[in-house]
Amino acid sequence: MAGSSYGTMFRVTTWGESHGKGIGVVVDGCPAGLPLTEDDIQPFLDRRKPGQSRYTTSRREEDAVEILSGTFEGLTTGTPISMIVYNKNQRSKDYSEIAEYYRPGHADMTYDLKYGFRDYRGGGRSSGRETIGRTAAGAVAVKILDSLGIRLLTYTKSIGPVSVSPDNFDPAVINENPFYMPDAQAARQAAAYVEACMKNKDSAGGVIECVIKNMKSGIGEPAFEKLSANLGKAILSIGAVKGFEIGDGFASAQATGQSNNDQYMRAENGSILKMSNHSGGILGGISDGSDIVFRAAVKPTPSVSVQQNTVTRDGRGISVSIKGRHDPVIVPRAVVVVESMAAITLTDMLLMGVCSRMDNLIRFYKS
Amino acid sequence: MAGSSYGTMFRVTTWGESHGKGIGVVVDGCPAGLPLTEDDIQPFLDRRKPGQSRYTTSRREEDAVEILSGTFEGLTTGTPISMIVYNKNQRSKDYSEIAEYYRPGHADMTYDLKYGFRDYRGGGRSSGRETIGRTAAGAVAVKILDSLGIRLLTYTKSIGPVSVSPDNFDPAVINENPFYMPDAQAARQAAAYVEACMKNKDSAGGVIECVIKNMKSGIGEPAFEKLSANLGKAILSIGAVKGFEIGDGFASAQATGQSNNDQYMRAENGSILKMSNHSGGILGGISDGSDIVFRAAVKPTPSVSVQQNTVTRDGRGISVSIKGRHDPVIVPRAVVVVESMAAITLTDMLLMGVCSRMDNLIRFYKS
Amino acid sequence: MAGSSYGTMFRVTTWGESHGKGIGVVVDGCPAGLPLTEDDIQPFLDRRKPGQSRYTTSRREEDAVEILSGTFEGLTTGTPISMIVYNKNQRSKDYSEIAEYYRPGHADMTYDLKYGFRDYRGGGRSSGRETIGRTAAGAVAVKILDSLGIRLLTYTKSIGPVSVSPDNFDPAVINENPFYMPDAQAARQAAAYVEACMKNKDSAGGVIECVIKNMKSGIGEPAFEKLSANLGKAILSIGAVKGFEIGDGFASAQATGQSNNDQYMRAENGSILKMSNHSGGILGGISDGSDIVFRAAVKPTPSVSVQQNTVTRDGRGISVSIKGRHDPVIVPRAVVVVESMAAITLTDMLLMGVCSRMDNLIRFYKS
Amino acid sequence: MAGSSYGTMFRVTTWGESHGKGIGVVVDGCPAGLPLTEDDIQPFLDRRKPGQSRYTTSRREEDAVEILSGTFEGLTTGTPISMIVYNKNQRSKDYSEIAEYYRPGHADMTYDLKYGFRDYRGGGRSSGRETIGRTAAGAVAVKILDSLGIRLLTYTKSIGPVSVSPDNFDPAVINENPFYMPDAQAARQAAAYVEACMKNKDSAGGVIECVIKNMKSGIGEPAFEKLSANLGKAILSIGAVKGFEIGDGFASAQATGQSNNDQYMRAENGSILKMSNHSGGILGGISDGSDIVFRAAVKPTPSVSVQQNTVTRDGRGISVSIKGRHDPVIVPRAVVVVESMAAITLTDMLLMGVCSRMDNLIRFYKS
């Protein structure tokens, strides 16, 4: 079934495998008139590019993006924006061995059982490189949101047991440490933790948090197309994500109504103010005007070089040690992917929510 | 925008408000030939029916379902199954007061800001009664899955701070306590906890867990239509759900690759066995043949009778105490809703995954 | 597969069979604030109601519609509008005979081969009564369009060989003859033609034309979601429609570029004027500001009482004469169905086209 | 809005403009295990390639296709197939003039009014070159259908007033004349007719017919997803198509039930035989086992070099003569596009119709 498209009004279609010719995306439904060149996209890809610190895979890829369609004289035309990144540094021979067995924690077995065979080179379609397309599309979405004044702040909240401290929270340092943590001290502790994992031939996971500022209220739909539900799907569709929570999330299950409710007051300017934000900016699936806050749990990289038991395609039990170039922790590179999927979702729901009232529709039609 | 449908091949469309004439659902895409009568649906609605214990609202509703279309001589015909439950025990006067202000933790304000006004009676469309349609549709999905040997076991994992103990886990007691907990002792503790909340004019939340047994491997799609992503969306679209995790979920963010990977071995019968199930039955978005295990965090009921600050529609600050008939804890009644949304999602993805291989398509076409 | 929904932003889901409990529709995505009661819907249903002239089936149905959800104090709330019409005058015994054989020209055989069996009573889901749901939804769409100043004029263009003459064209007489023809003389000739068919135990077909006035330009999308393509799908999804053409349609295939092009001129008020309308109001799939004009070819009613050869379900050849209450010509009753499907499609595409430009999106968001 | 994708289970997303870097398509949902290389695709592109006869534009494009993803060792993997054709022979200067005015019969004005500006080079996204993506995708679909034994025969039925004669019908000559007509004599008359048009600085249109053989019955869905409705949308989404009819189409509007019905008989092998095929292979929206037969009306090329009135972007009336390299008749090159869109639609609906019965689903799941 066709599972590589996401979104209704703003629709993103990704394609490509880890060791194929390239990776790409088609962004359809971008409104016309947005200034857009490769210079808007490349910084996003650079945030997820491998080889940027000793905590990421040593595979070297420039991941240089090219826009193939959808813009004219520097502006989007309203037609599909096709973008491509060619794969340069494939070393397929690294993977010839893994053709024959299933790596624990990877999708090798499930692809084989679903499709009867698989492109085993670097994980094929299940590789993290698929997120290049999402990230390029996310850059477009972020630029649209930026035109509306909406800002996304995304960072690593924790690596393994090391968490950012609210007391040290400083957005300015996010881009100054290899973990994209808003807390320099936590970043140093995270480095020590990951070093220890690497020494043990092991890997680490973590939690990513995203805060969306300046959101208008009224975005999101009742019932199945709740903004929270779509953010959840978007984030849970990223390979290594195993959990999603919004606002107080799992903690709210232990709270009481009294402590979990956000009471309202009248602001000086006459607008309505929430006195807290346990809801994470969404009530009944619809944005409530507060910051939207959500978190994603990212599992540790399954590629570890310690010995593991597994089976071959023909069913023999063996013991393996995963070789090749792998990230000891994928969380930092996933930060921009989480931001991208959130931006794509918001853009899509903004476009869908424009005409929830007759007066909006009439104003549009008469303009 | 149209947000009241869910699913592609097996599509569920719900309608209705808390105090309107009724609540209903259209289930489209159900294969022909499934035996189906009201007797298959009613037990599911009874599991979420109000008034079953002192821990649920005292609103009395029979919630008797009627099938209006889509079956003939006791079998589904392949055409849309329309089901309706009439609202009987509306007491709209209870709600006349809340027309003028926004209840904290509810969707009153967001609906008003989105649509310009709202059906304030009992929360209108944002009421938990919307889940009647989901539950009736879920009963159909469960029956389809049952024909395939797939079983869903859903229960309350925790109420506030009270958790089910793995040592006491006993599915047989789930239906024998008002909390649908598989641990009689925990259920008694939960009762005490909720009683205390009620005494404090407060409310409780909790966590629901769902285990899906006998799942074939190979169901789910790469990229955006991962089985995990769609389960996440389905569950997060339920009103009070603030978090979703699959397998080890947020705990996996603190694990290492070594401890989080599920190693493989050869079973006696030659099949592949996972030696653990940290993945929760899904790898790369595709079912891996193990039990699917996920959890949903449910926030405490926002309707509490303690005094809270809020604002009126015209922007005055006031203090209110929510009256009316409310559940001190919504978790037990949400158990069947979680199960329903999971079953709907699985059925949809099963139908979408039938022809992932040419040989399946050829076999179908030549049959 | 789920085939009973139509539309993306404005989505219509129909359900029900000819001899089931009722027929209904859920209209999802209607903007909030539209005044709507049963009085807006019923006149549309009355236009397709049986038993209005001697040229329609004698089955007596009031087809009284009830709105079950989605309005509050006379206004749409933005949530799903569920509408129902109960079947009253089923005479299933009329159909017991046809359970065993396949009526030529009907969907009896295809349903049986697809689903393994069928609800044979009155054609079940394939009955023309399915269009009740479309028509009720169409009434909502027409009311939305009316708020924008858009008007649909739909009528019978021809019955069998009898065509409306351009010289006699008079919209005022459309509702004054049983054929909904804008030409009183043609209507009389049509009556004579249909009488002759009836005498021969035979039936008639015809062509329906729809003109949409006051359409803004810029509605419709490039590539696959052309306004013309979606109108085509909408109209061709009506049971008996076998052809669709827009503007000059099939005649344009015989024209030359010179005669078929619509040249432009500057209007007195400075706007652009097309000097003709061969395009039928759509260029490149996008409305061009002229009237949209399209036609649908409706086949003759397949239920004829003359002897026909057919086969039984178990494969024996027999000769049959269709009994029961049938329309000798379905065209007049299909006029309002064509109008409804056109209005639904236009509304959906209007809502989708609102934000084709960044400036529109910014204006919405900042408002 | 996102309008460049088509299909649900087998989804095609096209991108690219006439004078951009290239044209491409992503085919998502192709079952795994189909042998596929560029050699399967190129012959389809060659059928629509310009410059093949004096009746097509003299723009020279090799239109060489490259597969970028979705295959491994010569087989489809079940993941998205990305294909690209680079534009080589853009001569944008030809078009600098038309930046300032609206060509009659083209989408220049509607794009401008919708998006505020347009990529005017060669028509940008509205160019016929967009169909390259459809055709490459169509080649994949045709190969899938071929695996099932389904064959499509598509040809020009008429050019202007010149029609193929049933008496001369010979599929063998279709590829032997520049008009793809199955009648050598008609092809010669068509050539004379088009020559005359060219001499008059004019252009021609025509009708394309498609016959689909060996179709299983039971494909297509009731209500809105009728096979006929989806074929109609697919074909009407091709730029120059102004009409669509299935089976007897518009002629059936003049027929009577008796003459239009297809009676049934028992075949020697016990199967059911339709004694005629007025229905065009579809009854109630579902394939009936006969050949599917439909026709598309293609308008004459709007680019004619005779003088025409038009207006400039800033509203002045002018007279123009369209220069550049244009097809005097687009029909022959559209034949393969019609076939492609039909094949895509059929493949999509086949995949959607696999599990219309519980027994099919059970068989799949238990296999």
Contact A148 C222 (CB under 8 A): no
Mean pLDDT on C13-26: 96
On whether the CB atoms of residues C209 and C293 are closer than 8 A, the answer is yes
Q: What angle do CA D70, D71, D73 make, to 5 degrees?
A: 160
| C-alpha to C-alpha distance for B249 and B287, rounded to whole angstroms | 16
Contact B79 C116 (CB under 8 A): no
On whether the CB atoms of residues D244 and D236 are closer than 8 A, the answer is yes
**pLDDT at position A322, please?**
87
Q: How far is CA C59 from CA B52, C88, C104, C248, D69, in A?
A: 47, 10, 21, 38, 58
Residue A60 has pLDDT above 90, yes or no: no
**pLDDT at position A268, please?**
86
| C-alpha to C-alpha distance for A58 and A50, rounded to whole angstroms | 7
Residue A47 has pLDDT above 80, yes or no: yes
On whether the CB atoms of residues C134 and C142 are closer than 8 A, the answer is no
| C-alpha to C-alpha distance for D4 and D1, rounded to whole angstroms | 9
Q: In angstroms, how far is the first alpha carbon of chain D from the final one?
A: 41
**pLDDT at position A92, please?**
56
Burial class (CB in 10 A: 0-12, 13-18, 19+), A315: exposed
Reading the block at residue A315, the tokens are 């069913």
Was C299 annotated as part of a binding site?
yes
ipTM score of complex: 0.97
- The distance of C292 to chain A (nearest Cα, Å) reads 17
Contact D26 A28 (CB under 8 A): no
Nearest CA to D316 out of C271, A203, A213, A157 is that of C271
Chain C residue numbers with beta carbons less than 8 Å from the beta carbon of D204 are: 256-257
Q: How far is CA B222 from CA B226, B349, C243, D76, in A?
A: 6, 12, 39, 15
Residue B92 has pLDDT above 80, yes or no: no
**pLDDT at position D366, please?**
87
CB-hemisphere CA count at 13 Å for B35?
A: 4
| C-alpha to C-alpha distance for D182 and D192, rounded to whole angstroms | 17
Over residues A316-353, the pLDDT tens digits come to 999 999 887 688 999 999 999 999 999 999 999 999 99
% of residues, chain A, pLDDT over 90:
86
Which residue reads 């500057």 in tokens? C266
Which residue in chain D is spatially nearest to B223 when comparing CA positions? D79
Nearest CA to D353 out of D212, D151, D218, D213 is that of D218
Burial class (CB in 10 A: 0-12, 13-18, 19+), B266: middle
Chain length of chain C: 367
Was C300 annotated as part of a binding site?
yes
Contact B353 A237 (CB under 8 A): no
| C-alpha to C-alpha distance for D70 and C240, rounded to whole angstroms | 41
On whether the CB atoms of residues D337 and D238 are closer than 8 A, the answer is yes
- Tell me, rounded to whole angstroms, the distance of Cα A233 from its chain centroid: 11
On whether the CB atoms of residues C105 and B47 are closer than 8 A, the answer is no
**pLDDT at position A122, please?**
85
Handedness of CA B242, B246, B247, B252 (dihedral sign): negative
Which residue in chain A is spatially nearest to D24 when comparing CA positions? A82
Chain A residue numbers with beta carbons less than 8 Å from the beta carbon of C144 are: 358, 361
**pLDDT at position D318, please?**
95
DSSP D184: H
Buried b (16+ CB within 10 A) or exposed e, C102-115: bbbbbbbbbbbbbb
**pLDDT at position D91, please?**
63
Identity of the amino acid at A97: E
**pLDDT at position D271, please?**
87
- The distance of D53 to chain A (nearest Cα, Å) reads 29
Residue B28 has pLDDT above 90, yes or no: yes
Reading the block at residue C333, the tokens are 């009753």
Question: In what helix (H) or strand (E) does residue A327 lie, and over which residues does it extend?
Answer: none
% of residues, chain C, pLDDT over 90:
86
Contact C236 D237 (CB under 8 A): no
Residue D300 has pLDDT above 60, yes or no: yes
Handedness of CA D232, D234, D239, D240 (dihedral sign): negative
Nearest CA to C175 out of C155, C151, C150 is that of C155
DSSP A204: B
Mean pLDDT on A78-93: 86
Mean pLDDT on B333-341: 98
Strand D307-311 relative to strand A308-311, pairing? unpaired
Identity of the amino acid at D58: S
Residue B286 has pLDDT above 70, yes or no: yes
Longest dimension (CA), chain D: 71
Contact D105 C260 (CB under 8 A): yes
Nearest CA to A222 out of B14, B362, B96 is that of B14
Over residues B296-305, the pLDDT tens digits come to 999 999 999 9
- Tell me, rounded to whole angstroms, the distance of Cα D270 from its chain centroid: 37
**More confidently predicted of C255 and C89:** C255
**pLDDT at position D168, please?**
96
Residue A219 has pLDDT above 60, yes or no: yes
**pLDDT at position D94, please?**
60
Over residues C93-122, the pLDDT tens digits come to 666 678 899 999 999 999 999 999 999 988
Over residues A145-192, the pLDDT tens digits come to 999 999 999 999 999 999 999 999 999 999 999 999 999 999 999 999
| C-alpha to C-alpha distance for C87 and C62, rounded to whole angstroms | 9
Facing residue for A216 by CB, picked from C8, C79, C365:
C365
| C-alpha to C-alpha distance for C275 and D134, rounded to whole angstroms | 33
Most confident stretch, A324-333, B85-94, B347-356 = B347-356
Using only C-alpha atoms, chain C has a radius of gyration, in whole angstroms, of: 22
Chain B interface test: which of D286, D351, D359, D363 (most B C-beta within 10 Å): D351
Chain C residue numbers with beta carbons less than 8 Å from the beta carbon of D137 are: none
Which residue reads 């047994």 in tokens? B213
Beta bridge partners of C14: C25
Mean pLDDT on B150-171: 98
Contact C358 A216 (CB under 8 A): no
Chain A residue numbers with beta carbons less than 8 Å from the beta carbon of C362 are: 147-148
Residue C254 has pLDDT above 90, yes or no: yes
| C-alpha to C-alpha distance for C278 and C274, rounded to whole angstroms | 10
**pLDDT at position C331, please?**
97
D contact chains, 3+ CB pairs < 8 A: A, B, C
Nearest CA to C250 out of D158, D248, D297 is that of D297
Q: How far is CA B303 from CA A257, A289, B59, B107, B324, in A?
A: 7, 21, 14, 12, 9
Over residues C282-331, the pLDDT tens digits come to 999 999 999 999 999 999 999 999 999 999 998 899 999 988 768 899 99
Q: How far is CA D91 from CA D20, D60, D88, in A?
A: 11, 11, 9
| C-alpha to C-alpha distance for A118 and D79, rounded to whole angstroms | 10
**pLDDT at position D95, please?**
65
Which residue reads 């849970």 in tokens? A236
Long-range Cβ contacts of D59-63 (<8 Å, 24+ apart): D59/D89, D59/D91, D59/D325, D60/D88, D60/D89, D61/D87, D61/D88, D61/D89, D62/D88, D63/D132
Reading the block at residue A168, the tokens are 């040290």
Chain C residue numbers with beta carbons less than 8 Å from the beta carbon of D301 are: 257
Which residue reads 């579902």 in tokens? D286
**pLDDT at position C322, please?**
86
Helix (H, G, I), strand (E, B), or coil: what is residue B153?
strand
Nearest CA to A285 out of A216, A228, A210 is that of A228
Confidence of residue B95 (pLDDT cuts 50, 70, 90): low
Over residues D186-238, the pLDDT tens digits come to 999 999 999 999 999 999 999 999 999 999 999 999 999 999 999 999 999 99
- Which segment of C88-92, C181-185, D50-54, D163-167 scores lowest on mean pLDDT? C88-92
| C-alpha to C-alpha distance for B171 and C253, rounded to whole angstroms | 70
Over residues D114-133, the pLDDT tens digits come to 999 999 988 899 999 999 99
Question: What are phi and psi for residue D325, nearest 5 degrees?
Answer: -100, 110
| C-alpha to C-alpha distance for D146 and D164, rounded to whole angstroms | 27
**pTM for the full predicted model:** 0.97
On whether the CB atoms of residues C244 and C235 are closer than 8 A, the answer is yes
Chain C interface test: which of D200, D283, D295, D313 (most C C-beta within 10 Å): D283
Burial class (CB in 10 A: 0-12, 13-18, 19+), C271: exposed
% of residues, chain D, pLDDT over 70:
97
Which residue reads 């907990």 in tokens? B181
DSSP string for residues in A227-291: HHHHHHHHHHTSTTEEEEEETTHHHHTTSBHHHHS--EEE-TTS-EEES--TTTTEETTEE-SSP
Residue C260 has pLDDT above 70, yes or no: yes
**pLDDT at position B56, please?**
77
**pLDDT at position C95, please?**
65
Which residue in chain D is spatially nearest to C16 when comparing CA positions? D223
Mean pLDDT across chain A: 94
| C-alpha to C-alpha distance for D112 and B23, rounded to whole angstroms | 46
B contact chains, 3+ CB pairs < 8 A: A, C, D
| C-alpha to C-alpha distance for B64 and B44, rounded to whole angstroms | 11
Mean pLDDT on C127-144: 97
Contact A358 C79 (CB under 8 A): no
A contact chains, 3+ CB pairs < 8 A: B, C, D
Confidence of residue A7 (pLDDT cuts 50, 70, 90): very high
